[in-house]
Amino acid sequence: MFALRNFTAADKPQLIKCLNNTNLTRFLSSRIPSPYSEDDAIWWIDHGSKNGIIRAIEVDGECVGCVGAEPGQFEYTYSAEVGYWLAEHTWSRGYASKALSLLIDEVKRTSEIVRLHANVFEGNQASCKVLEKCGFTAEGYLKRAVYKGGSFYDTHLYAKVIR
């Protein structure tokens, strides 16, 4: 069974386990603390996951990831940045594409967002494929756009106009 839902306190152990996996976090924003602690998980469940349209990805009763759209501010009010991650044991099963498709439907139904966008670290071809499968198009390539862990990274900019 596959579903998107709000995060709950029961997701805390899985968040800690997943977000301490460097294979998973190497392409994620450094806004995610490392190491990822119990306090970080509690904050995320109680506060962080409420900033935008953010959902836990559940497969067979287990939280295996996250997908979300974070609206912009001021002149970017009608745009939102999307992001997602999945537990490593669930990779390459189509869950990210399915979750992103469901999120896009929810964004259309429940908000006035017009445009969705995502920045993908160079080398994260799996994420590029997810976005393309969900109808996003590559809009640009940003040289040395991200600085993480002492290194600069190029990123791909993808976007989708939804209304």
Q: How many Cα atoms sit within 13 Å of 159 on the Cβ side?
A: 11
- Give 112-159 pLDDT, tens digit per residue: 999 999 999 999 999 999 999 999 999 999 999 999 999 999 999 999
9 is a domain residue: yes
111 is a domain residue: yes
CATH number for the domain that contains residue 25: 3.40.630.30
Q: Is 115 exposed, middle or buried (0-12, 13-18, 19+ CB in 10 A)?
A: middle
Average pLDDT on 28-33 reads: 94
Q: Mean pLDDT score of the chain, rounded to an integer?
A: 97
103 is a domain residue: yes
pLDDT at 138: 98
Q: How far is CA 87 from the centre of its chain?
A: 12
123 is a domain residue: no
130 is a domain residue: no
Residue 103 binned pLDDT confidence (cut-offs 50, 70, 90): very high
Residue 38 binned pLDDT confidence (cut-offs 50, 70, 90): very high
Domain residues for the domain of 17 are 2-116
pLDDT at 156: 98
133 is a domain residue: no
66 is a domain residue: yes
Residue 110 binned pLDDT confidence (cut-offs 50, 70, 90): very high
pLDDT at 59: 98
Percent of the chain with pLDDT over 90: 100
Average pLDDT on 38-43 reads: 98
Percent of the chain with pLDDT over 70: 100
pLDDT at 14: 98
What is the tally of structural domains in the chain?
1
Average pLDDT on 95-119 reads: 98
- Give 42-65 pLDDT, tens digit per residue: 999 999 999 999 999 999 999 999
Phi, psi dihedrals of residue 152, rounded to the nearest 5°:
-90, 145
Q: What is the DSSP string of 29-84?
A: -TTS-SSPPHHHHHHHHHTGGGSSEEEEEEETTEEEEEEEEEE--GGGTTEEEEEE
The Cα-based distances of 135 to 32, 101, 113, 129 in angstroms read 27, 9, 16, 10
**Residues near 78 by Cβ (< 8 Å), separated by ≥ 6?**
72, 112, 113, 114, 115
